[in-house]
Copies of this chain bind each other. A is one copy, B any other.
């Protein structure tokens, strides 16, 4: 008989780069303001930074900083359009995120 470990409700079988990437995504989502930005982008795809700044009660510089965190985590994608920057969800990465969670949880 091998060690009898009762099976858990999740495997968490992940490591290395995949784990780091997943943790960075969790961290990015673990902030109320960034979560609101994500929600806003679902209903306002392609909106520009200024739209998000108008929507949120925080300064433009702060919004820009949060957008960077979301961008670095892979959740959103920015496209420069004239003087503005248009933002969308980064669908491929979100699909990856969902898939990884499905694997480990």
Contact = CB atoms under 8 A, between A and B. Distances in A.
Interface of A: 5-6, 8-12, 14, 19-20, 23-24, 26-32, 35, 38-39, 41-45, 89, 91, 94-95, 97-98, 101, 105
Nearest to A40: B12
Copies in the complex: 2
Q: Is the interface of A mostly helix, strand, loop or mixed?
A: helix
7 contacts: A5-B45, A8-B45, A8-B89, A9-B94, A19-B35, A20-B32, A97-B105
A36 to B, nearest CB: 9
Contact of A98 (B24, B89, B101): B101
B91 A42 contact: no
